[in-house]
Amino acid sequence: MKSVFITYDQAYQDSVMAILSKHNIRGYSGWQGITGCGSRSGEPHQGSHAWPALNNALLTVIDDSKVAPLLEALRELDKTSDLLGLRAFVWNIEASI
Query: Which are the contacts of 28, defined by CB distance < 8 A and separation ≥ 6?
Result: 20, 58, 59, 60
Domain positions in the chain = 2-92
pTM above 0.85, yes or no: yes
Which band of pLDDT confidence, cut at 50, 70 and 90, is reported for residue 3? very high
Q: Please name the helix (run of DSSP H) or strand (run of DSSP E) that holds residue 21, with its range, or none.
A: helix 13-22
* 45-91: pLDDT as tens digits: 888 888 888 999 999 999 999 999 999 999 999 999 988 889 999 99
C-alpha 59/C-alpha 85 separation (Å) is: 17
In the CATH scheme, what is the code of domain 2-92? 3.30.70.120
Question: Residue 77 class from Cβ within 10 Å (0-12 exposed, 13-18 middle, 19+ buried)?
Answer: middle
Query: Which are the contacts of 26, defined by CB distance < 8 A and separation ≥ 6?
Result: 20
